[in-house]
A and B are shown apart, each in its own frame.
Chain A
Amino acid sequence: MTVSISRDRINSGFTAKVQRLADQNLMACYQCGKCSAGCPMAAYMDIPPNQMIRLAQLGMEEDLLNSEAIWLCVSCMTCNTRCPKGVRIAELIESMRQIKLRARQDHLQVDEVSEADLRAIPPIALIGSMRKFTS
């Protein structure tokens, strides 16, 4: 993947916003890759967690907010538990979801969930999904 970086992007405020929402220091990451190695969802992601962190450091807002990866993270906390630098990656990914959700850009359309699924799927799954994917 070719990525063009620019000072404008880096200084756009996106990096600071993500750090503020997550209360985390993105710059602590030194790209060891343990988060992606242990991530149960990495195989399905278009951008694995360690690359999400790098892109966030570089202010690559569009790439991240338009990615599938931010919606695949289920906050299982494996990355957080294993990060040698104490970076809470799950919080950083949550903050990117929040940026979308706070602009009312929902990922899950609740009215498209079938009646059969609403009956069969337990409430914790439905509510968990709505909490993570809707505004």
Chain B
Amino acid sequence: MKLSYFPGCTLKNHARNFEDSTLFAMDKLGVEAVELDRWNCCGTVFSLSADDLMRQVAPIRNLLRTSERGDSQLMTGCSMCFNTLKRANHRARANGEDLARMNDFMYDEPVDYAGDVDVLHVLEVVRDQIGFDAIREQVVKPLEGLRVACYYGCMLVRPNEAAIDDAENPRVLEDLITVLGGEPVDFSHKTECCGAHQTVDKPEIIADKTYEILGSAKAQGADTVAVSCPLCAFNLDHRQEATLKIHSDFHSMPVVYFSQLMAIALGGSESVLRLDLHHTPPGPLLTGKGLL
């Protein structure tokens, strides 16, 4: 199966571990992710103003690049890209007048966007197109004894028109971890916001959030927290140093991408995991469980 693929900016630098492990897992599962030739910034955050159509043009242009290839589906792994692309698409589809105006802004494009591309998150491809049964058959190194708290954050489950699962109690990541042979750990903070872009000028708030979220996972006996958003990953992992400065009883904990756990279970080598990009190293935990 071939799918058009939108990486987004952060998967090409800070979150190389996310991209490399995702592409490895997709390849193992028979999905050829074909990166768009000329992708541009997704816009990062969805513009919420009723009159601000100009800021919808960046995400829509990527959908136009997809339909130009004759494709009707665009897959992305970054939760923020996914959310922004899907909501811009939703707005374009829900309001023909808005779509016409967006197309007017893109006067340099030879064809108009017709609203005909579906935006998919990697987890939707995993659940709905590949299927958990097919994944189970490909597992060569089950995540035995690994207790994983699955953290969804905001962008995979809110708002309703962008959600890939239930807003209050999503299950897709837990189902995936189970299929990979790991042990999902339920915890209270799985859809609680990490503080997002406040990390730039209010890192002390992120420290509180990291303390609460990882503390809640730890209290339920989790070894690690699995994420799908490079901003959540940065806040929960790289802000652990700041967290410890404010909360002296904080216990650090490795944070991984769900795709890295897929790559391990599907027989990926350490090179696709890019563990060098983590702040709190997952190496000792994974080695201890016999997974490296």
Which of chain B's residues have a CB closer than 8 A to the CB of A40? 192-193, 195, 209
Binds B, one of A6-14, A29-37, A50-58, A69-77: A69-77
Does A95 count as interface, using CB distance less than 8 angstroms? yes
Q: Which residue of the partner chain, among A78, A80, A126, contacts B200 with CB atoms under 8 Å?
A: A126
Which of chain A's residues have a CB closer than 8 A to the CB of B8? 124
Q: How far is the CA of A127 from the CA of B133 in the complex (A)?
A: 39
Q: Which residue of the partner chain, among A21, A80, A128, contacts B80 with CB atoms under 8 Å?
A: A128
For the complex formed, measure the closest distance between the CB of B234 and the CB atoms of chain A, giving whole angstroms: 5
Which of chain B's residues have a CB closer than 8 A to the CB of A78? 154, 158, 191, 193
Which of chain A's residues have a CB closer than 8 A to the CB of B197? 74, 125-126, 128-129, 132
Does B136 count as interface, using CB distance less than 8 angstroms? no
Which of chain A's residues have a CB closer than 8 A to the CB of B201? 108, 113, 129, 133
Q: How far is the CA of A14 from the CA of B13 in the complex (A)?
A: 43
Number of interface residues of A (CB under 8 A): 37
Instruction: Kindly supply a per-residue 1/0 record for chain B positions 217-248, scoring 1 wherever the CB is within 8 Å of any chain A CB and 0 otherwise.
Output: 00000000000001100100010000000000
Instruction: Kindly supply a per-residue 1/0 record for chain B positions 43-58, scoring 1 wherever the CB is within 8 Å of any chain A CB and 0 otherwise.
Output: 1111111111001000
Q: Which of A1-55 contact B (CB under 8 A)?
A: 20-23, 40-41, 44
**With A78-B158, A120-B238, A124-B80: A21-B199 Cβ-Cβ less than 8 Å:** no
Contact B199 A125 (CB under 8 A): yes
Provide the main secondary structure of the chain B interface. loop
Contact B200 A129 (CB under 8 A): yes
Contact B158 A76 (CB under 8 A): yes
Q: How far is the CA of A124 from the CA of B197 in the complex (A)?
A: 8
**With A125-B197, A128-B231: A44-B205 Cβ-Cβ less than 8 Å:** yes
Q: How far is the CA of A21 from the CA of B160 in the complex (A)?
A: 21
Write the chain B residue with the least CB distance to A77: B158
Instruction: Kindly supply a per-residue 1/0 record for chain B positions 70-88, scoring 1 wherever the CB is within 8 Å of any chain A CB and 0 otherwise.
Output: 0000000010100000000
Which of chain A's residues have a CB closer than 8 A to the CB of B47? 131
**With A120-B238, A124-B230, A128-B197: A22-B45 Cβ-Cβ less than 8 Å:** no
Provide the main secondary structure of the chain A interface. helix
Contact B48 A94 (CB under 8 A): yes
For the complex formed, measure the closest distance between the CB of A113 and the CB atoms of chain B, giving whole angstroms: 7
Does B159 count as interface, using CB distance less than 8 angstroms? yes
Q: Which of B176-218 contact A (CB under 8 A)?
A: 191-193, 195-202, 205, 209
Does A116 count as interface, using CB distance less than 8 angstroms? no
Instruction: Kindly supply a per-residue 1/0 record for chain B positions 20-61, scoring 1 wherever the CB is within 8 Å of any chain A CB and 0 otherwise.
Output: 000000000000000000000101111111111001000000
Which of chain B's residues have a CB closer than 8 A to the CB of A113? 200-201
B interface list, Cβ under 8 A from A: 8-10, 13-15, 41, 43-52, 55, 78, 80, 154, 158-160, 167-168, 191-193, 195-202, 205, 209, 230-231, 234, 238
Q: What 9 A-B pairs are tightest by C-beta distance, nearest first?
A: A23-B50, A128-B197, A77-B158, A76-B193, A94-B48, A122-B14, A129-B200, A129-B197, A74-B196
Pick 14 A–B contacts, CB within 8 A, sort by A. Answer: A21-B50, A75-B45, A75-B46, A78-B154, A95-B49, A121-B234, A122-B234, A123-B9, A123-B10, A124-B231, A125-B199, A129-B200, A129-B201, A131-B43
Q: A78-B193, A80-B158, A123-B9 are in contact. List 19 more A-B contacts (CB 8 A).
A: A40-B193, A72-B202, A74-B193, A74-B196, A78-B191, A81-B160, A113-B200, A120-B238, A122-B10, A123-B13, A124-B10, A124-B78, A124-B230, A125-B199, A125-B231, A126-B197, A127-B45, A129-B197, A131-B47
